[in-house]
């Protein structure tokens, strides 16, 4: 069965963001600029009809507006938590990791090892890193709050500059190295 997701690309203080929404909630929030090889839910620009994963996209700024409003409040420093529903799609392990990310408080960070322990896989920090890499809902599912065990910033789909900006916005870099 073919599913239609409402989608739009919107401007933000960290650049253009692509949003896709189902009847259950936000399915994807992706940076316009992606790293090579990074996964995307977006349709192939050469063939906007139907993607092989059974999803059709329908451009709708109106459908994404409630999500965009809360994102703008977040970027203005007026919102710490998002109230809209999420439609998390992934393996059981990925969804467990993403839920662990959602539990990281605004303004705080955790290591990959912390997340691995929280999902019951204490030696699975690399697997957690891969789940973070596959996180389809950037910013809202805050994989930017995950840092290396030595306290350094590493691995972010939007790039380390955006990761640093998001952590600075949340005040999570105070007390850490700020470089």
Calculate what percentage of the chain has a pLDDT beyond 90: 73
pLDDT single digits (tens) 96-116: 999 999 999 999 999 999 999
Which residue carries 């996209």 as its tokens? 57
Catalytic residues: 143
If pLDDT is split at 50, 70 and 90, which confidence band does 56 have?
confident
| C-alpha torsion angle, residues 7, 138, 115, 162 (rounded to 10) | 170
The DSSP call for residue 77 is T
pLDDT per residue as tens digits for the range 129-178: 999 999 999 999 999 999 998 989 988 888 899 999 999 999 998 655 44
Question: How far apart (Å, rounded) are the C-alpha atoms in residues 2 and 160?
Answer: 36
Beta-bridge partner residues of 147: 111
Mean pLDDT across the stretch 16-20?
A: 95
Query: For 112, left (φ over 0), alpha (ψ -120 to 50), or beta?
Result: alpha
What is the spatial distance between Cα 67 and Cα 87, in angstroms, rounded to a whole number? 13
């Amino acid at each position: 069965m073919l599913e239609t997701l409402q989608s739009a690309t919107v401007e933000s203080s960290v650049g253009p963001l692509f949003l896709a929404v189902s009847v259950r909630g936000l399915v994807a929030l992706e940076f316009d600029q992606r790293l090579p090889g990074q996964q995307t839910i977006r349709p192939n620009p050469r063939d906007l009809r139907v993607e092989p994963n059974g999803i059709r996209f329908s451009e709708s700024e109106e459908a994404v507006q409630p999500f965009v409003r809360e994102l703008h409040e977040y970027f203005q420093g007026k919102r710490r938590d998002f109230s809209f529903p999420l439609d998390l799609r992934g393996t059981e392990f990925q969804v467990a990791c993403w839920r662990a990310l959602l539990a990281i408080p605004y303004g705080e960070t955790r290591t990959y090892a912390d997340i691995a322990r929280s999902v019951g896989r204490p030696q699975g920090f690399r697997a957690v890193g891969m789940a973070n890499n596959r996180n389809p809902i950037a910013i809202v599912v805050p994989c930017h709050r995950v840092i290396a065990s030595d306290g350094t910033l590493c691995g972010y789909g939007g790039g380390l500059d955006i990761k640093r900006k998001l952590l600075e916005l949340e005040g999570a870099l105070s007390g850490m190295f700020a470089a």
